Chain A
Amino acid sequence: MIKNVNQISEQAFLLDFGDEVTREINQNVINTFNFISKKMQKNNPLGLKNCVPSYNKLLIHFNPSKKNKDELTNFLNGIERLQTESSVNIDEVEIPVCYDEEFALDIKDVSKKTKINEDLIINSHLSTQFFVYMIGFMPGLPFMGDLETNLNVPRLMTPRLQVPPGSVGIVDKFCVIYPNQSPGGWNIIGRTPIKLFDKNKIKATLLNPGSKVKICKISKKEFLEIQKINE
């Protein structure tokens, strides 16, 4: 349910779906995102420039003009009536992750802080059916939830200046994968050899907002093999 339609700048509306971070609310955000995206692909009559889903908000950028604003205001205020059930196929993606010591930079600390042993942390990660709440911060970075066991582990006190590409991080019930080297404050528990963002591909990102993700465990040998193929 859209609680509010707020114009937050000359060129943007923020649709507010609530304050809580739940999968249900996020699914509503993503359904609306998919609905508006389709409209943008077809000759874009509303002058839209971007549509950015997040946990419980949807940001809509448009080309400011009196005509666009009036039409967009009407469209957004009636959007819930127009929207039918999400007819977008939800893609399901399997992502291989290696949890070897060399890659799982923080798993020992997470285990100490949560008093849950490393194998259980890994098993919880492997048995979770992840859902992509949003993609952002850097190109292709998915924010995924909800970990089957909420580990309640906070961000690192001091963020790393350089997280290696492919690193898999956890905070609370969420999981991210860093597509490229970047600064970052999440607890790193493994690494994937596959590329989540490849600017040379027509569809540059592996995942979409709303994608379902399963993790499968691979050995270091397999990690290196897959990495070689992807180069």
Chain B
Amino acid sequence: MSNCYFSVERAGIYTTFQDSGYDFLQHFGVTTGGVVDNNLFITANKLLGNDDNEPVIEFAYQGPRLRLEAGNVQIAVTGNVHFIISKKSENFRETIGECFQTYQLKEGDIIDILATKSSIYGYLSISGGFKLNKYNNSGSTLVRSEIGSNDGRKIQENQLIEFNKESLNEKLKQVSFPSTDKSNVIRVIEGPQENFFSSETINQFYNSPFTISKSADRMGIRLDGNQITSKQSPNIPSEGIVKGSVQVPGDGNPIVLMVDHPTIGGYPKIATVILKDIAKLAQLSFGKEIRFEKISIETAEDLFYENQNDLKEIFKTISNVKKN
């Protein structure tokens, strides 16, 4: 046991270690996994001066309640998250935490991540990173395959979470992160099997709204409210899958495949959600309505590069927190 660790007083609903995921294992059936919301992930690390790909804790809906049992460390929470920090030195008086800024925790302090607000996923990073047994150079957890950090499991109540190093620094940082785009439009490019669908069906796909169903997780998001039928067989010879693929199984309810998608699949894919809009879609909660808009692959690429530049601009706003 190292001398820096948290204890988990409440695990939360789906709390895992994640980074950018696994490369070059899909031909063995091991999917990429990794964080759902890449911008929030990188920002969480940048705030603390970590490497961009340092594994963080990803939580969904309700996050964990952690007590710092030994050591001192700085943390940051990114997303739209309601959380509370209780300091031992202040008799555990609860103060509401701000996202996108760092906090210094000392031995005995508690961080309680109560809920994500109008979103699903949020991130907790710590200075210097967590102490993890990496698998194939990644700290991501694939829960269904039981692979990766934490023995391939979600973070459990009463377990301990070790971290790499102590850090004491009263200089706290903040970053100005833009609020999320409120439109309900999800941009896609043409899918590899668009020709499996009639032009009427394709029109219907782009002109009628879908709603986010209750079956939405790191593997995929099932959409309701607008059944799509293929004119040909509802199956294709199984082939490799990319994140964001909108596959249409026989029942006509499309599924947008997310980070933990199976490596191959046999349903026709009508569209692919662009990388820039994947996190936006994944952050929408049950019952939210969306509409798909088709763009060209060149536009999708431009939006991807634009996002990379936007992130650079965001990181330029990292500054010291002014003490009141």
Residues of chain A touching chain B, judged by Cβ–Cβ distance below 8 Å, are: 6-12, 14, 19, 21, 33, 37, 40, 48-59, 61, 64, 66, 69, 134-141, 143, 180, 197, 199, 204-205, 209
Q: Is the pair A50, B32 in contact by a Cβ cutoff of 8 Å?
A: yes
Considering the complex, give the chain B residue whose CB is closest to the CB of A138.
Answer: B29
Residues from chain A with a CB closer than 8 A to the CB of B238 are 54-55, 134, 136-137, 143
What are the interface flags for B146-178 relative to A under an 8 Å C-beta threshold, 1 for contact and 0 otherwise?
A: 110000100000000000000000000000000
Point out the residue from A6, A10, A37, A140 that lies within 8 Å of B29, measured CB to CB. Answer: A140
B200 to chain A, nearest CB (A): 24
Q: Is the pair B242, A137 in contact by a Cβ cutoff of 8 Å?
A: no
Q: How many A-B residue pairs have CB under 8 A?
A: 124
Q: Is the pair B240, A57 in contact by a Cβ cutoff of 8 Å?
A: yes
Q: Is the pair A137, B262 in contact by a Cβ cutoff of 8 Å?
A: yes
A12 and B297 in contact, given A51-B24, A64-B304 (Cβ under 8 angstroms): no
A61 to chain B, nearest CB (A): 7
Q: Is the pair B240, A59 in contact by a Cβ cutoff of 8 Å?
A: yes
Q: Is the pair A11, B242 in contact by a Cβ cutoff of 8 Å?
A: yes
A9 and B28 in contact, given A64-B301, A137-B264 (Cβ under 8 angstroms): no
Other than A61-B26, A135-B28, give 18 A-B pairs with Cβ distance below 8 A.
A9-B189, A9-B242, A14-B192, A19-B237, A21-B237, A37-B27, A48-B24, A52-B26, A53-B27, A55-B238, A66-B305, A135-B27, A136-B240, A136-B262, A137-B262, A138-B145, A139-B28, A139-B30
What are the interface flags for B289-310 relative to A under an 8 Å C-beta threshold, 1 for contact and 0 otherwise?
A: 0000000010011001100000
Point out the residue from A50, A53, A137 that lies within 8 Å of B24, measured CB to CB. Answer: A50
Residues from chain B with a CB closer than 8 A to the CB of A134 are 27, 238, 264
Q: Is the pair B239, A64 in contact by a Cβ cutoff of 8 Å?
A: no
Point out the residue from A12, A61, A204 that lies within 8 Å of B28, measured CB to CB. Answer: A204
Q: Is the pair A59, B262 in contact by a Cβ cutoff of 8 Å?
A: no
Whether, in the assembled complex, B135 has its beta carbon less than 8 Å from a beta carbon of chain A, the answer is yes
Taking each of B28, B30, B191, which has the highest tally of chain A beta carbons within 10 Å of its own beta carbon?
A: B28
10 pairs of residues in contact across A and B, judged by CB atoms under 8 Å: A10-B274, A10-B297, A49-B24, A49-B32, A50-B32, A50-B240, A55-B237, A64-B304, A136-B240, A136-B263
| Interchain CA distance A131-B249 in the complex, whole Å | 28
Residues from chain A with a CB closer than 8 A to the CB of B25 are 50
Which of the four size classes fits the interface of chain B?
A: 35 or more
Q: Is the pair A59, B239 in contact by a Cβ cutoff of 8 Å?
A: yes
| Interchain CA distance A9-B271 in the complex, whole Å | 10
| Interchain CA distance A33-B240 in the complex, whole Å | 13
What are the interface flags for B260-277 relative to A under an 8 Å C-beta threshold, 1 for contact and 0 otherwise?
A: 001110000000101100
Q: Is the pair A136, B272 in contact by a Cβ cutoff of 8 Å?
A: no
| Interchain CA distance A4-B100 in the complex, whole Å | 46
A136 and B26 in contact, given A8-B272, A9-B275, A12-B242 (Cβ under 8 angstroms): yes
Point out the residue from B27, B135, B300, B301 that lies within 8 Å of A51, measured CB to CB. Answer: B27
Residues of chain B touching chain A, judged by Cβ–Cβ distance below 8 Å, are: 23-30, 32, 135, 144-147, 152, 189, 191-192, 237-242, 244, 262-264, 272, 274-275, 297, 300-301, 304-305
B190 to chain A, nearest CB (A): 9
Considering the complex, give the chain A residue whose CB is closest to the CB of B192.
Answer: A8
Residues from chain B with a CB closer than 8 A to the CB of A56 are 237, 239
Considering the complex, give the chain B residue whose CB is closest to the CB of A205.
Answer: B28
Closest 10 CB pairs of A and B: A59-B240, A52-B240, A136-B264, A136-B263, A57-B239, A54-B239, A55-B237, A50-B26, A139-B29, A136-B29
Residues from chain A with a CB closer than 8 A to the CB of B145 are 138-139, 180
Residues from chain A with a CB closer than 8 A to the CB of B244 are 9
Q: Is the pair A50, B29 in contact by a Cβ cutoff of 8 Å?
A: no
Q: Is the pair A139, B264 in contact by a Cβ cutoff of 8 Å?
A: no
Point out the residue from B24, B240, B275 that lies within 8 Å of A64, measured CB to CB. Answer: B275
A32 to chain B, nearest CB (A): 12
Q: Is the pair A10, B301 in contact by a Cβ cutoff of 8 Å?
A: yes
Residues from chain A with a CB closer than 8 A to the CB of B274 are 9-10
Considering the complex, give the chain A residue whose CB is closest to the CB of B304.
Answer: A10
Considering the complex, give the chain B residue whose CB is closest to the CB of A16.
Answer: B192
| Interchain CA distance A136-B144 in the complex, whole Å | 14
Residues from chain B with a CB closer than 8 A to the CB of A19 are 237
Q: Is the pair A209, B27 in contact by a Cβ cutoff of 8 Å?
A: yes
B238 to chain A, nearest CB (A): 6
B132 to chain A, nearest CB (A): 15
| Interchain CA distance A33-B32 in the complex, whole Å | 18
Point out the residue from A11, A136, A199, A209 that lies within 8 Å of B135, measured CB to CB. Answer: A199
A6 and B192 in contact, given A64-B304, A138-B145, A139-B29 (Cβ under 8 angstroms): yes
